[in-house]
Each structure stands twice: as C-alpha cells, then as structure tokens.
Homo-oligomer: A and B are copies of this chain.
Amino acid sequence: MSRFQTVRTLTFGDCDPAGIAYFPSYFHFLNGVMEEWWGSLGFSWRELIQKRRIGLPTVQLDTQFLAPGFMEDELTFTIEITTLGSRSLTVRHTVTRGEMLLWRATQTIVATSLDTNGSIAWPDDIRAALRSFQEA
C-alpha cells in the first residue's frame, strides 16, 4: 500500500508553557501535510479553490496522542488511504520521532462546491489519482 511521507520540525512557537507541543499546532502541521500530499498527486489546493471552486473540509478527525513532542523534534508525517468513497476520503496519519510513535489520526474529508457549500462527487481526475495512489 502506498504511503506519503514528509518531515516537519517543531518550533518554539508550536509549544506551550508546559514545554510540549500544543495540539492545535499539530493540526496546523497536519493540514499542511495533507496539502503537500495533494500537491504531490498533481492537485494544487490553490487551483482547486480558486479555479475549480472545490473545497475539502474535514468532517471527522479522531486523534490519539501517545507521547509528547518537544521543540526541535523532527517529526515524520505519514499518510495512507484507508477508504475512498464517492464523495469522501479517509486517511490514516501517523506521526513519529525516530522510531517512536507520537500520535496518530484518522481524518475524513469530503469534496464540496465552494459555491453551494454542499458535498459533490469526486471529479474523475481526482478520484483516478486517489485510486492510483491507493493501489500503487
């Protein structure tokens, strides 16, 4: 099964007065990692939004935080597809520091029309790219 991986470094500003990563900052990273993955599939979110008027809101996000992250940690984000629906996509995220699993999440996004804010079926080219990634 295909996986997408990329690395991010936790900064001072991503951490909180308890000295560990602030979880809302983690989700800002997670969203940027999704955007990078979509770009790697050939779909720029800027184009999707501005030209094709397609949004990709998150409808479900289940997260387990297993061990704290600290500033300067180098985190490896991994994305795998778990379910490709006709209007939705569910992926599994794992975030590791070296061999250690820090947190994992299951995220479901849907395709929407930015003009109506209603859900739409995946356009053919997007579905084909996601299926191709899934089966690679």
Which residues of chain A have a CB within 8 Å of any CB of chain B? 9, 11-13, 15-20, 22-25, 27-28, 30-32, 35-36, 39, 44-46, 49-50, 55, 57-66, 68, 70-72, 114, 117
| A57, B20: Cβ atoms closer than 8 Å | yes
Bound form: Cα–Cα A70–B11 in Å: 20
29 A-B pairs within 8 Å (CB atoms) are namely A9-B36, A11-B31, A11-B35, A12-B17, A12-B31, A12-B32, A13-B22, A13-B32, A15-B16, A16-B16, A17-B49, A18-B49, A18-B55, A19-B50, A20-B57, A23-B61, A24-B24, A24-B25, A24-B28, A27-B27, A46-B72, A57-B65, A57-B68, A58-B65, A59-B65, A61-B61, A62-B63, A63-B63, A68-B117
Contact (A59, B68) CB under 8 Å given A12-B32, A13-B28: no
Q: Which 5 A-B pairs have the closest CB atoms?
A: A24-B27, A11-B32, A62-B62, A24-B28, A18-B55
Give every chain B residue within 8 A of A32 (Cβ-Cβ): 11-13
CB-nearest residue of chain B relative to A23?
Answer: B58
- How far, in whole Å, are A27 and B105 apart by their CA atoms in the complex? 15
Q: Closest approach, in angstroms, between the C-beta of A79 and any C-beta of chain B?
A: 15
In the complex, A72 Cα to B45 Cα: how many Å?
Answer: 8
